Structure 1
Amino acid sequence: MTSLTRRDVLGLAAALLPIVACGKPSQIVEPPEVDAIPDDAVVITNDSVLVRVERIPALRSIDGAAVLLAARVIIIRTGTTTFRALSAECPHSGCGVSIIDTPRLICPCHGSEFDFSGNRLAGPAPTGLRMLRADFNEANGVLQVTRSIAPQLRPNSSRA
Structure 2
Amino acid sequence: MSEEQPVIDPAVTSRRVLLAGAGAIGATAVLAACGTDPDEDAGSGSQSPTATQGSGGGALAKTSEIPVEGGTIFAAQSVVVTQPAQGEFKAFSSTCTHQGCPVTSVDGGTINCNCHGSKFSIEDGSVKKGPATKPLTERQLNVEGENITLA
Instruction: Please give the TM-score of this superposition, normalised by the length of structure 2.
Output: 0.60
Unaligned runs of 5+ in 2: 1-40
Q: Is the 8 A contact 2:63 2:148 kept in 1?
A: no
- Equivalent residue for 1:144? 149
- Equivalent residue for 1:51? 60
* 1:4-63 deviation per Cα after TM superposition (whole angstroms, max 9, x unaligned): xxxxxxxxxxxxxxxxxxxxxxxx517xx52xx473x43235x7873231573xx1x422
Q: Is the 8 A contact 2:68 2:83 kept in 1?
A: yes
Q: Is 1:72 matched with 2:82?
A: no
**CA gap 1:38/1:96 in 2 versus in 1, 3 angstroms:** closer
Unaligned runs of 5+ in 1: 1-27, 147-160
Count of paired positions = 108
- Equivalent residue for 1:125? 132
Q: Is the 8 A contact 1:75 1:84 kept in 2?
A: yes
Opposite residue 118 of structure 1, the aligned amino acid is G
Structure with bigger RCO (C-alpha 8 Å, 6+ apart): 2
What is the RMSD of the two structures over their aligned residues, measured on CA atoms? Answer: 2.6
Residue among 135, 138, 149 paired with 2:142:
135
Q: Is the 8 A contact 2:118 2:131 kept in 1?
A: yes
* 1:54-75 deviation per Cα after TM superposition (whole angstroms, max 9, x unaligned): 573xx1x422311112211111
Q: What is the DSSP-based 3-state SS (H/G/I as helix, E as strand, rest coil) of the residue aligned with 1:143?
A: strand
Larger radius of gyration: 2
